Amino acid sequence: MDEDDLEVQGPWGCHPEWGDAPPDVGDLDDLVSLAYPTTQLPDGYADRLRVFVDDVVEDWSEAAIRAAGLARKIDRARVWSETSDEFVDPNAPLSTAERTAWMARVFTTELAVQLTLSETGAGKRIAESRMLVHELHGTLEALSLGLISYAHAQVIIDQAGTLPAEARAGFEDAVLDVAYRVPAGRFRHAAVKMRERLHPDSIKDRAKTAAAERRFVLEPDLDGMAWLHQYLPVTQAQAIFRRVTGVARSMQHPGEARTLAQLRSDVAAALLMEGIPEDALMDGAYRHAGAKNKHGKNSGGKNNGGKNGGGKHKSSGKRQGGVPNWGIRPHVFVTVPVGTLMGRSEEPGQLEGYGPIDADTARDLAAKAPWFTRILTHPETGIVLSYGKDRYRPPKDLRDWLTLRDGTCRYPGCGRPASETDIDHTQDAQYGGPTNESNLAHLCRPHHLLKHLTAWKLTQKPGGVLKWSSPLGATAITTPDIEPVKNGPPDIPPF
C-alpha cells in the first residue's frame, strides 16, 4: 500500500456515506445551516463541536423532563379512567373486582393502540407512571430537572417495585445520589446491591415468591432463528446448564466441527424436543446413540422399550441433524408451496407463529419431521391442496388453515401463537354470524373476552383483515400471516 492509499483510508474513508474522500466543506455547511445560521457558529473546530455537543446534552436533559411530564399525564388519564365503568358491558356477570380489572384493561388497551405499543408495554408504562407520581417523588423530581435519564428512573422503579411499600422511600434516598453519577447500566448493579441490603424479607421468602413467576418464553429473531428464555430457580438453571455442557463436552472429538456453543444448543434442543433417555447421555454415549449395531439395535443403551432409569423409552435409532429421534413429538404447522416441495421453486415456506423459512428447511420438515403438519399451497392462488394424509380429519381442516392464516392472536400487538388461542366468530353466531373463513379469527382468551365484555368493536374485511375500534374511536388493522385463498382453483400437477 503506497502513501496515496494510506491517505484515502483516513477518517472520512471509513464512513459509508462519504466513500473514499472527505466530504466537501460546503456540503457540511449546508447541513449545519438547516439548524443554525452560520453567523451564530464559531469558526474553530473545537468551538463548533462544543456547540453541537451542548445541543445534544440539552436535548438529552429535555427528553428526561418530557418523560417526567408524560408520566404525570399518563397517571392523570389512569385516575380518570377508574371513575367510570362506562366501557364495560353492564350486563356482564362480573364481580366488583372483575369489573374494576376490566376498566383498567380497557384503559391499557386504549393507550396501547393509540401509542402503537404492545399491551404489555403500555401496562408497564402505566405502572411506572403510577409509582413515579405516587411513591417515588424524589425520582420524579430528579427526572423533572433533567438530572437523571428515564433509563435511570426505570432502574429505580424496577428495584423499588420488588420491595415492600414501607421500604421504598429509604431505598430511593439511598440510590438517587448514585444515579446522578453513574451510567444506567452500572447503576443497575448498585441498585440491586442496595435493594438486597434494605429488603426486610428473608432471602428464603423472596425466593419462594420469585419462583411463582417462573416461565418459559419464545422470542422469534431474524434469519430463521429464535431465542428460548426460561426463568426458573438458579439451582435448576445451573444444573441444566452444567448437564447440557457436560453432554456437549462428551461429544467433542477431533472430527467434530461444531463449537462448544453450537453443541450446547444442539444438545439442549435434543433434550427438549426428543426427551433423550438418561443412559444415552451417560459417559459420552450420546454421540453414538443414533447409530445401530449389526443387530439393528440402538447402541446408546436399551431404548427399545426396555427399562431405563425407571421409565420406558422407544427409539427409532434415526438421526436428524446429528440428533437421535427420541421422545414426544410436538405439533407444529409448516406451509410449503407445491413448487418448493417439488424442487421447482425456492419460494420460502411458512412456519406457524414465526413466518418465512428457507426452502431447503421447509422441504426437509415436510419430508422428514413427523411432528410437523404439512400444508401444501398453490404458489399463485394460495388454495390449500393437502394437509397430509396422516392428519386429515374434517372439519379440522378449516381450523388448521385458520391457524396457518392467522399465525398469532389477531389483536394488535399480541404474539400468542394461534394454536394456543380460541377461534372466534367475528360476528357472533347467535346473531347470525356464519362459521366460515371470512367470519373466523384467532383470539387469545384475554382478547376474546375484551371483545365480548367491553366497548371494543371488531369487524372482518375481505382477505382476513381485521379492523379493531377502541372505545374512544381509535382504529387498528391486523392482517393475516399468510394470504388467504384467492380466485380460481389451481392446476394441480400429478403426484
Q: How confident is the model at residue 276 (pLDDT cuts 50, 70, 90)?
A: low
Cell of 60: 438529552
Higher pLDDT residue, 206 or 484? 206
Task: Please name which of 321, 324, 322 lies closest in space to residue 313, comparing C-alpha atoms.
Answer: 324
At residue 58, the pLDDT reads 93
What average pLDDT does the chain have? Answer: 77
Higher pLDDT residue, 299 or 409? 409
Separation CA 423–CA 439 (nearest Å): 10
Residue 293 CB neighbour total at 10 angstroms? 10
Q: Is the predicted pLDDT of residue 448 greater than 70, yes or no? A: yes
At residue 286, the pLDDT reads 44
**Contacts for 440 with CB less than 8 Å, ≥ 6 apart:** 398, 402, 423, 424, 425, 426
Residue 95 CB neighbour total at 10 angstroms? 8
Q: Is the predicted pLDDT of residue 205 greater than 60, yes or no? A: yes
- Which amino acid, residue 65? I
Q: How confident is the model at residue 15 (pLDDT cuts 50, 70, 90)?
A: very low
Give the tens place of pLDDT for each residue, 217-234: 888 888 888 999 999 887
Q: Which of 351-355, 366-370, 382-386 has the lowest mean pLDDT?
A: 382-386
At residue 45, the pLDDT reads 85
Give the tens place of pLDDT for each residue, 67-113: 999 999 999 999 999 999 999 999 999 999 999 999 999 999 999 99
At residue 304, the pLDDT reads 40
Task: Please name which of 255, 280, 252, 279 lies closest in space to residue 264, comparing C-alpha atoms.
Answer: 252
Cell of 46: 473545537
Chain length of the chain:
495
Give the tens place of pLDDT for each residue, 186-202: 999 999 889 988 888 87
Place of cell 433509563: 151
At residue 309, the pLDDT reads 38
At residue 128, the pLDDT reads 97
**Contacts for 210 with CB less than 8 Å, ≥ 6 apart:** 233
Give the tens place of pLDDT for each residue, 359-373: 777 777 666 655 556
* Dihedral angle, C-alpha 160, 165, 167, 173, nearest 10 °: 60
Task: Please name which of 280, 286, 287, 285 lies closest in space to residue 255, comparing C-alpha atoms.
Answer: 287
At residue 27, the pLDDT reads 58
* Peptide linkage before 395 cis (omega within 30 of 0): yes
Separation CA 154–CA 3 (nearest Å): 52
- In sequence order, the β-bridge partners of residue 326 are 315
Higher pLDDT residue, 114 or 417? 114
- In sequence order, the β-bridge partners of residue 475 are 469
Q: How confident is the model at residue 353 (pLDDT cuts 50, 70, 90)?
A: low
Beta strands at 332-337 and 372-377: parallel, antiparallel or unpaired: parallel
Q: Which of 12-21, 240-249, 289-298, 338-347 has the lowest mean pLDDT?
A: 289-298
Q: Is the predicted pLDDT of residue 485 greater than 70, yes or no? A: no
**Exposure string (b/e) for 2-34, b if CB count within 10 Å is 16 or more?**
eeeeeeeeeeeeeeeeeeeeeeeeeeeeeeeee
Q: Is the predicted pLDDT of residue 476 greater than 60, yes or no? A: yes
Q: How confident is the model at residue 296 (pLDDT cuts 50, 70, 90)?
A: very low
At residue 30, the pLDDT reads 59
Give the tens place of pLDDT for each residue, 386-427: 443 333 233 677 788 888 888 899 999 998 888 889 999 998
Q: What is the 3-state secondary structure (H, E, C) of the chain?
A: CCHHHHHHCCCCCCCCCCCCCCCCHHHHHHHHHCCCCHHHCCCCHHHHHHHHHHHHHHHHHHHHHHHHHHHHHHHHHHHHHCCCCCCECCCCCCCHHHHHHHHHHHHHHHHHHHHCCCHHHHHHHHHHHHHHHHCCHHHHHHHHCCCCCHHHHHHHHHHHCCCCHHHHHHHHHHHHHHHCCCCHHHHHHHHHHHHHHHCCCCHHHHHHHHHCCCEEEEEECCCCCEEEEEECCHHHHHHHHHHHHHHHHHCCCCCCCCCHHHHHHHHHHHHHHHCCCHHHHHHHHHHHCCCECCCCCECCCCCCCCEECCEECCEEEEEECCEEEECCCCCEEEEEEHHHHCCCCCCCEEECCCEEECHHHHHHHHHHCCCEEEEEECCCCCCEEECCHHHCCCCHHHHHHHHHHHCECCCCCCCCEHHHCEEEECCCHHHCCCCCHHHEEEECHHHHHHHHHECCEEEEEHHHEEEEECCCCCEEEECCCCCCCCCCCCCCCCC
At residue 87, the pLDDT reads 96
At residue 35, the pLDDT reads 61
Higher pLDDT residue, 277 or 203? 203
At residue 481, the pLDDT reads 84
